Structure 1
Amino acid sequence: MIPSLFIYLVLINILGYLFMRIDKKRAIKHQYRISERTLWTIAILFGALGLYIGMKTFRHKTKHATFKYGLPVLTLLELGIVLYGINV
């Protein structure tokens, strides 16, 4: 894998994880929240795994069907794309 691509994947997933953490803390404190649109944008930009791990770790957005089912599906799709890209 191209080193810069690997670095990008690591960083976008760390960002997704951190955004879930930040949004959970803001939800608890009844503060201004990170929009679902922003979270999905990160997920679509290959950060779905980080968001999914954050969702499970912080028990955040687990009642939202779009996150509960969508993030695992998107994670598998992105994983398949990355693995296919490595083998080509």
Structure 2
Amino acid sequence: MNEIHIILTIYLIAINIATFFVYGIDKWKARRSKWRIPESTLLTLAVLGGSIGAFIGMRTWYHKTMHNKFKYGVPLIINLQVVLAVYIYIRFH
């Protein structure tokens, strides 16, 4: 594994952990009628590589599971990221 693979792996682990907890924080804030994290931020974290963390966070915290843009959007983002990863792997290996 070369340096770029290590950096990418660390990045993906970090963004997924962060995204998971951001979804949990937003759920905590929702229950307490506090200022919320914008939906655009939650979805942006998923697009930036935190889609698995977003999906697990949705299921763990029971958060945003009934909103169509999350219910269908996060799995769509995961699938697109997998297709992109497979394409890049095939293309450059």
Q: Mark yes or no: TM-score above 0.5.
A: yes
- CA positional deviation for 1:40: 1.2
Q: Within 2, Cα distance between the matches of 1:38 and 1:51?
A: 11
Matched, 1:37 2:27: no
Question: What are the ranges of 5 or more consecutive residues in structure 1 without an aligned counterpart?
Answer: none
DSSP-derived class of the 1:60 partner: coil
The residue that corresponds to 2:52 in the other structure is 49
Q: Cα RMSD between the aligned structures?
A: 1.3
Structure 1 or 2, whichever has the larger Rg, is: 2
Give how far 1:20 is off: 0.5
The structure 1 segments of at least 4 consecutive aligned residues displaced by more than 6 Å after TM superposition are: none
Aligned partners of 1:83 and 1:5: how far apart in 2? 15
Partner of 2:24: 21
Q: CA deviation at 1:58?
A: 0.7
Identity %: 42
TM-score (norm 2): 0.87
Aligned residue-pair number: 88
Query: What is the CA–CA distance in structure 2 between the aligned matches of 1:35 and 1:72, rounded to whole Å?
Result: 19
Aligned partner of 2:74: which letter? Answer: L
TM-score normalized by structure 1? 0.91
